[in-house]
Amino acid sequence: MKDIIGKANLSVKVALMLKIKDARVVVTCPGRNFVTLRIETADGVYGLGDATLNGRELAVASYLTDHVIPCLIGRDAHQIEDIWQYLYKGAYWRRGPVTMSAIAAVDMALWDIKAKAANMPLYQLLGGACRTGVMVYGHANGQTVEETVEEALKYRAMGYKAIRLQSGVPGLPSTYGVSKDKMFYEPADGSLPTENVWSTAKYLRAVPQLFEAARLVLGEEVHLLHDVHHRLTPIEAARLGKSLEPYRLFWMEDPTPAENQEAFRLIRQHTTTPLAVGEVFNSIWDAKDLIQNQLIDYIRATVVHAGGITHLRRIANLADLYQIRTGCHGATDLSPVTMAAALHVGLSIPNFGIQEYMRHTVETDAVFPHAYTFQDGSLHPGDAPGLGVDLDEALAAKYPYSRAFLPVNRLEDGTLHSW
Ligand code: EZ4
Ligand code: CO
């Protein structure tokens, strides 16, 4: 009895007010640029948030340093929802990737602090685990169909249960999403944007051939995915979806841009290939019509670009009502801090679908030591208190910011693509 009372008293000792004493932004480039927010409380507990916006990193760094951090000092780190509302509504200028990435970084850091203060891995505070791990998909890509399928075999040998396939398009010199490096793919590749050439006709001929070969070699068990990178019009996407039906894709991603959410209705009417979209979304309003009209099957909004854990959970909750599952963006430009946050969310929500997982380089993993681990095609966030990711600032300082852009895409006659 005494023991029980002693334990109860211990739990009361958890600080109910955690005053934010300091916050700073760390920009580092261990192979690619990352922007990280570190919030520290008067008690010495600190939290990390990712604020990386590929190709526009310094805009978010300034937003945080110049406009957000001064408003945080002295606030109670426990008041995550109130601080979220304060930064969102209080800014007057709502939404947009820069603002929402900055808010996301604050939100992640505060959840990290709260879970550390509670001495629990974050997923426990979010309701606890709904599954044993978070199924991930890796990227197999190659210049030719043969090369791509060979890469996919390597992923399957590593235990992956889901693989995204991207192949070079015959007749086009280079294709976005198809890298020279295999395991560590980095699309932001120039200090000025490189230019790719695009032909929809050539692409639409090539993709079904890739998936026909992939099913023949890889069999029926493994999940196969494909990313269109917003390159098609709705009717072209409808045609691609239809032509891929025999190969039973897990999803066709970003078939057309979604500024006009209604555009997906047209694709939906023509194909049973499942649809995923949302890696560039930054708010629930970007997804509202897509979700409420059941125009998609997977929502790809992420912790870092869609307002943090607090807002992503709101999006996931709405999606759950309409039998839509999550499939969060998880490319290398989302730091290990975002990956960890995504894993805690993915483990704890009812409608988790799949998580993208592009491996970070050894240099990035050294700057961000983390507790999450890969096993049997799934990631688990680990049981360290908080997010389970740290930042080695001394090591980070050795990698100064290096400007890098995502490529632009032009049609063969020079017209800038995509819509
Ligand atoms: O183009 O992360 O699904 N993954 C992707 C990525 C994105 C980059 C953009 O920064 O589409 O490769
Ligand atoms: Co994508």
- pLDDT tens for each residue of 128-143: 999 999 999 999 999 9
Of the ranges 12-21, 89-98, 344-353, which one carries the lowest mean pLDDT score?
12-21
- Catalytic (active site) residue 229: yes
The single residue of 229, 305, 360, 380 carrying the catalytic annotation is 229
| Ligand 1 atom 3 nearest Cα | 329
Cβ–Cβ under 8 Å, residues 34 and 332: no
- Residue 57 in contact with ligand 1 by CB distance below 6 A: no
Name the fold adopted by 125-385.
Answer: TIM Barrel (3.20.20)
Q: What is the pLDDT of residue 8?
A: 46
pLDDT at 332 over 50: yes
**Of all atoms in ligand 1, which is nearest to the CA of residue 188?**
10
Spatial separation of the C-alpha atoms in residues 365 and 370, rounded to whole Å:
7
Average confidence (pLDDT) over 149-153: 98
Q: What is the pLDDT of residue 286?
A: 98
Going from N- to C-terminal start, the domains of the chain cover 19-120, 125-385
Q: Is the peptide bond before 199 cis (omega within 30 degrees of 0)?
A: no
Q: Which residue has the higher pLDDT, 357 or 11?
A: 357
- Catalytic (active site) residue 185: no
Q: Quick one: pLDDT band at residue 178, thresholds 50, 70, 90?
A: confident
Q: What is the pLDDT of residue 331?
A: 97
Q: What is the pLDDT of residue 13?
A: 66
Q: What is the pLDDT of residue 162?
A: 98
Say how many Å lie between the CA of residue 71 and the centre of ligand 2: 34
- Residue 356 in contact with ligand 1 by CB distance below 6 A: yes
Q: What is the rounded end-to-end Cα distance, in angstroms, of the chain?
A: 68
| Ligand 1 atom 10 nearest Cα | 54
Q: Quick one: pLDDT band at residue 10, thresholds 50, 70, 90?
A: low
Average confidence (pLDDT) over 176-182: 76
Query: Listing from the earlier edge strand, what are the strands of the sheet with 195-198?
Result: 195-198, 408-411, 416-417
| Ligand 1 atom 7 nearest Cα | 331
pLDDT at 12 over 80: no
pLDDT at 7 over 60: no
Average confidence (pLDDT) over 360-388: 98
- CATH of span 19-120: 3.30.390.10
